[in-house]
Amino acid sequence: MIDEITQDARTRMGKSVEALKTEMSKIRTGRAHPSLLEHITVEYYGSEVPLNQVANINVEDARTLVVTPWEKPMVSKVEKAILESDLGLNPAVAGTVMRIPMPPLTEERRRDLIKVVRSEAEGAKVAIRNIRRDAMNDFKELLKDKEISEDEERRAGEAIQKLTDQYVAKVDEVLATKEKDLMEI
């Protein structure tokens, strides 16, 4: 029973770290990457769909993305969605092809992005601590139902705390890597 709770906590903490990595990949450094546009949705025949389902997204060079909608009428909708996104990008439309130059990051923008990255990391740490709390509550329930002894509950709590510390350290690693990426010019 204790092992099942611990394994569940380990799995959920791992998913929290993976979700953080996914979120971090969306925050741009100075380089162009198709994942920057993944979270943008476009109105397509009455429903909101991700940009990568209505257009092809490629990297032309280190600082330019090329977006090619599959249908000609979608060009203006895709352009509008990119302009309205929180990324501050200005696509240049030429026929059905959109070139999106990545503006160099200013020092102020880098600092803003670092704040965003830190808040994302803090959110991941909170999620991991909530998972720890859930596991500890499960152990307390088992103790209350007399399915485990107090010693087993204490040992299981210590094991969950070690697990929590490991995953918080992984979040800190991801954060440090992204901050270093952002500060590179």
Q: What is the pLDDT of residue 185?
A: 60
| Burial class, 26, CB count within 10 angstroms (exposed 0-12 / middle 13-18 / buried 19+) | middle
Q: What is the pLDDT of residue 28?
A: 66
SS (H, E, C) the chain: CHHHHHHHHHHHHHHHHHHHHHHHHHCCCCCCCHHHHCCCEEEECCEEEEHHHCEEEEEEECCEEEEEECCCCHHHHHHHHHHHCCCCCCCEEECCEEEEECCCCCHHHHHHHHHHHHHHHHHHHHHHHHHHHHHHHHHHHHHHCCCCCHHHHHHHHHHHHHHHHHHHHHHHHHHHHHHHHHHCC
Token pair recorded at residue 156: 């299981």
Positions of the chain with pLDDT under 70:
28-31, 185
pLDDT in tens, 120-131: 899 999 999 999
Q: Transcribe 33-76 into DSSP letters.
A: -GGGGTT-EEEETTEEEEGGGTEEEEEEETTEEEEEESSTTHHH
pLDDT in tens, 44-72: 888 888 888 888 888 888 788 899 988 88
Q: What is the pLDDT of residue 34?
A: 78
- Cα gap 169→185, rounded to integer Å: 27
Q: What is the pLDDT of residue 30?
A: 63
**Global pTM value:** 0.68
Domains, the chain: 2-26+106-183 (1.10.132.20), 34-101 (3.30.1360.40)
| Burial class, 124, CB count within 10 angstroms (exposed 0-12 / middle 13-18 / buried 19+) | buried
